Amino acid sequence: MAITSCSQLSEKLNSSPDFLNPPLVSEIYTADPSAHVFNNRIYIYASHDIESGGIEDHSGNNFNMIDYHVLSMNLDGSDVTVHPVGLSVGDVTWAESKFWAPDAAYKNGTYYLYFPAKDANNIFRLGVATSSNPEGPFTPQPTPMQGSYSIDPAVFVDDDGSAYIYFGGIWGGQLQRWENGTYDENGSLKDLGVADDPAILPKMAKLKDDMLEFAEEVKSIEILDKSGNPILTKDLERRFFEAPWIHKHNGIYYLSYSTGDTHLIAYATSDNPYGPFIYQGVLNEPVQGWTNHHSTIKVGKKWFFFYHDTELSGKTHLRNVKFTTFKHNKDGSIDPIKTYFGNDWRF
């Protein structure tokens, strides 16, 4: 049953002391929420988790999603709706499998859905599909975005209308296989987390005005510590793993991302959308479940943090989307969000 009002939200809150927030919907499993405000309503572009029998391993073999349903709700959290399928893997000629974390953007009357999928060669690419409605149905472009690879696209539209796509994820997300500029199945050893080398970095590119293609060569986004040194591969609690997201507050760009096997959402700041970004701290502590993936939106004066955990299923590959609020301190820092009070769920 969908949770449809704020009073239902608080009833659920009281019934599960281990969890700060209730699942947004329980009709389907949902994950990797990318939230946006369109037409005075919150739209959440999420993965649709399913049971596929895949065995849990380091390549995400248990995440075999095949379609997207957009979720939406009023600005006060009421009237939560699970929309019908917005895009199916079968509709995308180049895509074979693995509809992982999506995002969306709006420009000039069109809504754009950005998504990763594996192609016939088992290589992750990024696709884009368009619709005149925020919930779809979306019509995919016939080919992946040229020059795209890896997973977890997140599109940030700056105040001047410039749009940037951020993406990447190591291990199952294959980013380590692109370290030399072309696809190498054996990849880089850096992703193993033992090297003194600088860690593999998230990627970005400006989008063309049509929002369908990269306007420039893909660039790495530097993440540095406060002394200006690169975060190293072995620094598992700070190095980039997947799920990049950008938001802007008081003129500062905040890059937040998952640290993967240490299960944190970390954040780093910059005065430029291209970085370099300076590591600042933890944005979200571990949730229940292996993956931690999030987004942020501002509604009026309030900031909301969307995330997922596994409250409904207890299984890492069957997740449920939730949200809470957070604040920026006067100095721009953000206190770590804590949404799970059960035992630490770490490998």
Using rule CB under 6 A, residue 191 touches ligand FUB? no
Which of 32, 135, 152, 311 is flagged as catalytic? 32
Residue 94 to residues 122, 144, 244, Cα–Cα distance (Å): 11, 7, 24
CB of 47 to ligand FUB, least distance (A): 4
User: β-strands 124-131, 41-49: how paired?
Assistant: unpaired
Nearer to ligand FUB, 25 or 31 (CB): 31
* CB closest to ligand FUB, residue no: 100
Indicate the residue among 47 and 320 with the shorter CB distance to ligand FUB.
47
- SS3 of 239-301: CCCEEEEEEEECCEEEEEEECHHHCCEEEEEECCCCCCEEEEEEEECCCCCCCCCEEEEEECC
Cβ distance to ligand FUB smaller for residue 100 or 253:
100
Active-site residue (options: 152, 242, 309, 311): 242
Q: Is 32 a catalytic residue?
A: yes
Please select the residue that binds ligand FUB; options are 256, 269, 291, 310, rule is CB under 6 A.
291
Cβ of residue 196: shortest distance to ligand FUB, in angstroms?
A: 26
CB of 41 to ligand FUB, least distance (A): 24
Closer CB to ligand FUB, residue 191 or residue 242? Answer: 242
Does residue 47 belong to the site contacting ligand FUB (CB under 6 A)?
A: yes
Structure tokens given for 53: 């029998």
Known catalytic membership, residue 285: no
CB 293 within 8 A of CB 43: no
Q: Does residue 31 touch ligand FUB according to CB under 6 A?
A: yes
CA angle 262–150–215, rounded 5-degree value: 125
Residue 63 sits in the site that holds ligand FUB (CB under 6 A): yes
Residue with Cβ nearer ligand FUB (31 or 201): 31
Backbone torsions φ then ψ of 178, nearest 5 degrees: -115, 10
Rounded (5°) CA angle 166-169-174: 120
- Contact between 282 and ligand FUB per CB under 6 A: no
Amino acid at 22: P
| Residue 152 interacts with ligand FUB (CB under 6 A): yes or no | yes
Distance from C-alpha of 167 to C-alpha of 283, rounded to nearest angstrom: 19
Helix (H, G, I), strand (E, B) or coil at 305: strand
Residues touching ligand FUB: how many (CB under 6 A)? 14
The pair of structure tokens assigned to 226 is: 């406060």
Under the binding rule (CB under 6 A), the answer on residue 337 touching ligand FUB is: no
Residues that bind ligand FUB (CB under 6 A): 31-32, 47, 60, 63, 100-101, 151-152, 169, 242-243, 291, 293
Residues that are catalytic: 32, 242
